[in-house]
Amino acid sequence: MSAVWRASRAAVARRRLQTAVIGLVVFCATTTVVLALSVLTAASAPFDAAFDGQRGAHAVAAFDAARTTPAQLADTARRPGVEAAAGPFAQADLDMPEDWLGHPPGRLTVVGRADPAGPVDRVELLAGRWATAPGEIVVNQGFRGSPASMLGARLTPSGAPPLVVVGFANSMSKSAGGWVTPEQAAALHPSGLQMQYRFDSAATEGRVRAGLAAATAGLPEGALESARSYLTLKSAYSALADSYLPFITVFGVLGLLVSVLIVGNVVSGAVVSGYRHIGVLKALGFTPRQVVAVYLAMVSVPAVVGCLFGTALGWALSGPVLRVTFAGIETGTAALEPPAWLVPACPVAVPALVAVAALVPASRAHRLSAARAIAAGSAPRTGRGLRVQRALSGTRLPRAVSLGLGQPFARPGRTALTMSAIVLGVVTVTLTTGLSSTMLAASAPPEGSAAGPRVRVQVGSAAEHQPVPALGESGSAALLRSTPGAAAVTSRALVRLGLVGHDETVFGDFYDGDEAALALHVVKGRVPAGPNEVIAGPAFLDQHGLKLGDRITLDLRGRRLPVTVVGMPLEGNARAVGATAAALAALTAEPHVVEYDVRLAPGTDAAAYAAAVTAAEPGLRASASSTDPNTATATVIGFSTVFTLLLSVVAALGVFNTVLLNVRERRRDLGMLKSIGMTPRQVVAMTVTSVAGLGAVSGLLGIPLGMLAHRLIVDHVKVLVFAESMKDVWHAPQLAGLALAGVAIAVLGALVPARSAARLTIAEVLHNE
Amino acid sequence: MTTDRHGTTGHDGAPPTVVDLSGVHKEYGDAKALDGVDLQIRAGEAVAVMGPSGCGKSTLLNMVAGLDRPTAGTVRVHGQDLGALNETGLALFRRRNIGMIFQFFNLIDDLPALDNVALAAQLTGTPARQARRRAVELLDELGVASRKDTYPAALSGGERQRVAVARALMNRPALLLADEPTGALDSRSGEQVMDLLIDLNQIGQTLLIVTHDPKLAARCAGRLVEFADGRVARESGIDEGTPERTA
């Protein structure tokens, strides 16, 4: 065994507590980093992987069959810039009058394909088989799951023969709602032809548009009806996750920063406190390089162990965390797993970071002469620190307190690192408090809502083999109003709509009744005042290149309705618009109400009301509404709480380490102070004050930074629009409480070493001198 | 018996007993540091404790200062049974009754001489201005007032020890304990410190000095206690040069 390794092992064994602190800090830091990177990567990487796996189409284009021919379209595959193309496939829009397989009524786009393979958009069969005969259909399934029980279901489109579901498949390109044989597609009177393209360059929306323009350059005017870029799908894929991504990104970055600072602080402290040991090693004949090697090995051992455990825990946690984060999102065949590269990368990168952090002070050890190292025992103190101590000694503060307040100035570098960690801890706590308040305010009932328990009443669907209300829409509403306890009844109708100029369908939510305006939850703009006005969320507007005041045209089975976007809800679905029942009446006279929201008079028993409704009309399935915050709110609050706890623990560990080092370095002073009558309580007060002052200053610095970070985040969440009242969450008592966060982190970290300082045996300390 | 500032007054009208050790044992694991020590020191006495390394001299000093606790026996200082005090009680006791001088001075490097001295009073709650005024007086008496703003690193060994003595006297202790006070000094500085201790004793300060230096013991102490193997091996009055008691 080499002398370096032997000396390192001895140093590790002798400094058990410090070794444990390094290991613990690296463990917490690695767990935080793995979690943060998992979620950040999962936001887009799984889509990319699944999309590439299917050789997804960069653009799916629909052409007017009356203006172009299949041969002309086939030629577009050979245009410059087109890497691969598939089609033309016949495309038909079916009108589904009833709910089908859990989907609302509306348009179903089917495409005729002989098989799921091909150079582009290799559709993945999830259950059943591919359609091989007329009357068969394979339905596009947004989720990987087990829809086998629904195989054999009959779809009955208006004006077309029924289709039997023989398979479920997934296209990450969302090239169709379903696939039939080419012969069947021809029989469905297709209105268009579909081409799918992959381009040489498709990294941006502009390049996709340019590629499509080049491919379709020679076609007759008006031949291209609509086209959709894969970037829109990618954006839609992460649309819900987008509501938490800014939060997660910030916490991830904070986690990384705090980890780097604390690791640097802990490791450099270990080296600085070992100066006497360094001197002894050099006196024994260790070369400067060997001394550096001893110290690097000494900190690397606990760092590697902590990192391995941290990676394992982070990896174990990231699976469930990802599942929660992406719950309810159409993930297609994308695998929601933490990226595999984290497993080898973290155990390499984190110890490397630790080694770099150790290298700076270790190089000081490299330069220090043996005699000076042994004589000094620790790094020399600075003149500024002495002046501050002197100034404090003349103040009216209790001497134990003024001594403590002066200590940070003795080691400015260590103080700066410790303070930075506390500042980041306070930023995190402030940010979490702000975000939680904002999200809770956002999930609270809209302003103007009356108090009272609520009941959600779902309308039974024949397609899902549920009893359908015999009373009809008006009868159902009348029943709900007449059942004792009801104070307000609001209905929601759901229809799948076409959007003129766009290939995909969108959902329309139409509200009617006593609190329709409140149900739309408009936070920007205004509530629709007539049939030609809608609201749409920021994600919808972003993906369709729209803004408030723009006009779009809705299409329901050929009936078109031009509307103006007049408002934005807090959290709009990326594929939905909202409006009042007047707009729905302008599109159709058919019933489409899917649920009712009933507000009861205060004191009414919601469960009894729900039971009474369902007893009177089995087609109405009523249940008391949960008052719990929604998934996004719970996720954001859950995430921020976990990260805040982790970061606070890491910051407190940094403080713990700093105080531990200070206590060790000042053992002689402590012994002397106790010998002249400093009580244990005064020792604790002095030691805690030495970092509590830093905590207080860090609090004052961290709060405005946390408030700024909160503002930046809530203003830049793409899919959420917060009302000003939701952003203005800061109040004096809350800020006063936050100001204590820095002190709390500092005191938490300092208490244990302070108590051990108070218990120092004076005789032992002074005798050792 | 009655108690005054200097300790317990005897019925015989003799100076009161400041230190009273009775059957004191101290063990560290299997090692016996003190093995049944009985020792009394009266107010105004200057007692030197001598003996070879490891004989228990420093342990004795620690017992008297309340820095360590005996395994068995009682230690009474200034009428107070130290065994009955908790850590805080011991700290308050030291603050009021004990001044300590160490071989290596134990000054705080971050503080100039003046603040090192004032510190002892400030810990008792004395305002900074008042504590500094008294510290200046003491430094002046000890001949180092001109060095009051100097940090320990820039003081000579003798100056450091004078500052340490000033700090020890700051709270007017009943008992001054000195652990090898000249051990780290050159001969000239050592002489100066010895003179200082003699002067202090002459004005009534009770002294307990632990030393290897026979010259220090002979010059500064009126009574010599020789230790061996954790026991008092011999006690003698230095002036008489005759043994008072032999173990």
Residue A718 has a pLDDT of 63
**Cβ proximity of A727 and A711 under 8 Å:** yes
Instruction: For chain A, list residues whose CB is within 8 angstroms of any CB belonging to chain B.
Output: 381, 385-386, 389-390, 393-396, 398-400, 406, 410, 668-669, 671-682, 758, 761-763, 766-767, 769
Instruction: Determine contact, residues A443/A629, Cβ cutoff 8 Å.
Output: yes
Tokens of B90: 């011991």
Whether residues A389 and A522 share a domain: the answer is: no
Q: What is the pLDDT of residue A156?
A: 85
CATH code where residue B30 lies:
3.40.50.300
Statement: the pTM of the whole predicted model exceeds 0.95: no
| Boundary residue ending a domain (A624, A644, A677) | A624
Taking the C-alpha atoms of residue A237 and residue B12, their distance in angstroms, rounded to an integer, is 100
Tell me what pLDDT residue B232 has.
92
In angstroms, the separation between the Cα of residue B13 and the nearest Cα of chain A is: 32
Dig out the tokens for A467 from the structure. Answer: 């009893």
Amino acid B85: pLDDT: 92
The token pair at A558 is 């050929």
**Which of these, A365, A259, A185, A205, lies nearest to A36 by C-alpha position?**
A259
> Do B231 and B245 meet the contact criterion of CB atoms below 8 Å apart?
no
Start-to-end Cα distance in chain A? 34
Backbone angles phi, psi at B185, to 5 degrees: -115, 155
Classify burial at A285, counting beta carbons within 10 Å of its beta carbon; exposed 0-12, middle 13-18, buried 19 or more.
Answer: exposed
Give pLDDT, residue A237: 64
Instruction: Find out whether the peptide bond into A351 is cis, omega within 30 degrees of 0.
Output: no
CA pair distance A47, B199, nearest whole angstrom: 89
pLDDT of residue B71: 93
Q: What is residue A628's predicted lDDT score, i.e. its pLDDT?
A: 56
Q: What angle (nearest 5°) sits at the alpha carbon of residue A608, between those of residues A607 and A614?
A: 90
Q: In the prediction, which pLDDT does B21 show?
A: 95
Q: Which among A576, A604, A624 is the end of a domain?
A: A624
Mean pLDDT, to the nearest integer, of B155-171? 90
Cβ–Cβ below 8 Å for B112 and A767: no
Q: What is the model's pLDDT at position A289?
A: 81
- List, as one string, the DSSP characters of A371-415: HHHHHHSSPPPPHHHHHHHHHHHTSSS-HHHHHHHHGGGG-HHHH
Helical (H) or strand (E) element with A492: strand A486-499
**C-alpha distances in Å from residue B216, one per residue of B51, B185, B212, B239, B242:** 13, 12, 8, 14, 18
**Strand, helix or coil for residue A191:** coil
Question: Cα(B179)–Cα(B58) distance, rounded to whole angstroms?
Answer: 7
Angle at CA A63, nearest 5°, toward A60 and A69? Answer: 125
Residues near A517 by beta carbon (within 8 Å), at least 6 away in sequence: A511, A527, A580
Same domain? A613 vs A728: no
> What dihedral do alpha carbons B124, B130, B132, B138 form, nearest 10°?
-90
A238 against B121, higher pLDDT: B121
The two structure tokens encoding residue A148? 């086998």
Model confidence pLDDT, tens digit, residues B18-31: 999 999 999 988 88
B44–chain A nearest CA distance, Å: 21
Which of B53, B61, B67, B160 should we substitute to test contact with A (largest number of A Cβ atoms within 10 Å)?
Answer: B67
Q: What's the confidence (pLDDT) of residue A251?
A: 67
Contact residues for A54 (Cβ-Cβ < 8 A; gap 6+): A121, A122, A123, A124, A171, A172, A173, A333
Q: Are residues A351 and A434 in the same domain?
A: no
| Distance between B11 CA and the closest CA of chain A, angstroms | 32
The tokens of A455 are what? 């009941």
Rounded to an integer, what distance in angstroms lies between the CA atom of residue A100 and that of residue A158? Answer: 13
Residue A202: which residues within 8 A CB-CB, separation 6 or more? A58, A59, A208, A211, A230
Least Cα distance to A51 among A212, A194, A219, A175 occurs for A175
What SS3 state is found at A497?
strand
Number of domains in chain B: 1
Whole-angstrom Cα distance, residue B136 to residue A328?
77
For strands B242-246 and B98-101, give the pairing: unpaired
Give the total number of structural domains in chain A. 4
pLDDT for A371 equals: 65
Residue A432 CA: distances (Å) to CA of A229, A239, A723, B219, B232: 36, 22, 18, 71, 68
pLDDT at A381: 52
Residues A558 and A657 in one domain: no
Contact between A671 and B106 under an 8 Å Cβ cutoff? The reply is yes
pLDDT at A412: 82
* Nearest alpha-carbon partner for A184 in A157, A207, A160: A160
Q: Which two tokens stand for residue A223?
A: 């031949």
Below-50 pLDDT ranges, chain A: 377-380, 768-769
Residue B1, both tokens: 């018996």
Q: A-B interface: how many C-beta pairs under 8 angstroms? A: 98
Question: Could you tell me the two tokens for A135?
Answer: 């009357």
Torsion of CA A401, A406, A407, A412, to 10 degrees: 150
Residue of A386, A402, A670, A676 to mutate for B, most B C-beta atoms under 10 A: A676
A293 and A171 within one domain: no
The shortest C-alpha distance from B27 to chain A (Å) reads: 14
Domain of A348, in residue numbers? 1-46+238-375
Last residue of a domain, one of A597, A624, A651: A624
Specify whether A504 is located in the same domain as A556.
Answer: yes
Range of the domain at B157: 2-246
Domain match, A290 and A366 both: yes
Of A261-265, B180-184, B185-189, the range with the lowest mean pLDDT is A261-265
Residue A410 DSSP label: G
- Run of H or E residues at B101: strand B98-101
